Structure 1
Amino acid sequence: MDPKITLVTLGVSDIEDSIQFYRDGLGFPMRERDPDGDVAFFPLEGTWLAIYPRDRLAEDATVLDDGNGFSGVTLAHNVSSKTEVDTILERAEDAGGRVVKVAQEVFWGGYSGYFADPDEHLWEVAYPPLTAE
């Protein structure tokens, strides 16, 4: 097996609101879709993001859609500067997201903050000052 993540699918409550947040608010490129379809794909660098109705995603996975609160999963987006972290958090908030943790110096030596999308999926935006070894 060649270990890699090729697609992350988020279960969402309203497909159109989520498209507006990711495509129009955050500027994610979106693949053409059937306007009456119930899935949207965003090709990103190295992977794809999909959004799909939460209840249908739970049904597809054959699990109950009764969860709430923290799911135990966060998504991360690394950037090249602290300023870019701040800019993206502001952009997410302007697009209808909610800043969960304001950007700050963190224990592992970087700078990061978190936002929640309209369905409360958590995204960390981080500047990790990595050095080549």
Structure 2
Amino acid sequence: MNAKAADFVFHTVSDIEQSVSFYRDTLGLALESLDEESGWAEFALPPTTLALGEVNPAVPLSPGAGGVGVSMAVDDVESAVERLRDEGMAVLMEPQEFPTCAMAMVADPDDNPIMLHRRSDGTHGRRDPFP
């Protein structure tokens, strides 16, 4: 096997409509595709895609804080956390400053963890160029 790239990041969700609303309207991600019948949605999260799939017996994953999350670059971690807190989202980790970055963690409607992240050098996304 020779893995070539990450095609998408995936979260299992319990309600595709509620999750699409959160990721599109609250987080501001661009919805690229939605299949409500199969319970699947995809959002642009450059340089990859964030895929959401409703609970499905064929996929052995369940929603919630199971140690897997996604990190999203934001301009201001503290203001992003405050805005999400004002909208009733759970804050799992308060904003923290580190020598190379600032980060915090919130939960989506299914308690899937989302890291909000800002690098000190102003960069975001994949650091090294694709081969």
TM class by shorter chain equals 0.7 to 0.9
Q: What does 1:100-119 align with in structure 2 at a 5 Å threshold?
A: 100-106=92-98, 109-119=100-110
Identity across matched positions, percent? 31
1:102 alignment partner AA: E
TM-score between both structures, scaled by the size of structure 2: 0.75
**1 or 2, which has the higher strand percentage?**
2
Q: 1:36 to 1:4 in 2, by over 3 A?
A: same
- 2:106–2:115 CA contact under 8 A, matched in 1: yes
Tell me, which stretches of 5 or more residues in structure 1 are unaligned? Answer: none
1:30 deviation in Å?
0.4
- Structure 1 position 74 matched with structure 2 position 72: no
Q: What does 1:21-60 align with in structure 2 at a 5 Å threshold?
A: 21-54=22-55, 56=56, 59-60=57-58
Number of equivalent positions: 122
1:72 deviation in Å?
1.8
TM-score between both structures, scaled by the size of structure 1: 0.74
What SS does the aligned partner of 1:33 have? strand
The 2-side partners of 1:27 and 1:99 are apart by: 18
1:128 alignment partner AA: R
Tell me, which stretches of 5 or more residues in structure 2 are unaligned? Answer: 123-131
**1 or 2, which has the higher helix percentage?**
1
Number of the residue aligned with 2:21 = 20
Q: 1:28 to 1:64 in 2, by over 3 A?
A: closer
CA RMSD of aligned residues (A): 2.7
Number of the residue aligned with 2:82 = 90
The 2-side partners of 1:69 and 1:76 are apart by: 15
